[in-house]
Amino acid sequence: MTKPIPTIDKYMTTSPMTVSQDDSLAHAQKLMSDNKFRHLPVLDGEKLVGMISDRDVALISSIAGADPHVLKVVDAMTPKPFTTSPKTLIDEVVSTMAEHKIGSVVVMDNNHVVGIFTAVDALGAFAHLLQTRLGK
């Protein structure tokens, strides 16, 4: 008998930190560094407008004359990030992530950010599923 495929809410990081599109890149970088995150959903008020990663910040900051204290998150974010519902099956999410080389997914419920699911979360889910379904 096979077990059902779990939904993304079982493995996502709940209540992720977010940044405003008007925050400085330095603020976003400090949040990520202090909390050991690599991705932050970007909001305009309550509305999701993008995703910023530590790589985005590093790239923009490496440009001669770029000041992360002056530049805003909106200047470096990826607009229209990949989103999914908490009840989406995990195999659908990871297949899309792999196919499109996406490092993180914002989990939305009723137009609110309720979670984030990253490649690291996917590896944790993979290990858990292997241990519980194929293990001893």
pTM as predicted: 0.88
What's the total number of domains in the chain? 1
| Domain contains 25 | yes
Nearest alpha carbon to residue 63 among 76, 79, 50: 76
On whether residue 3 sits in a domain, the answer given is: no
Segments forming the whole domain that contains residue 50: 8-134
Write the CATH number for 70. 3.10.580.10
Residue 23, in any domain of the structure: yes
Give per-residue pLDDT as tens, 61-89: 888 888 888 999 999 999 999 999 999 99
Helix (H, G, I), strand (E, B) or coil at 48: strand
Is residue 1, in this structure, part of any structural domain at all?
no
Tens digits of residue pLDDT in 103-114: 999 999 999 999
Is residue 2 situated within a structural domain? no
d(CA 100, CA 5): 21
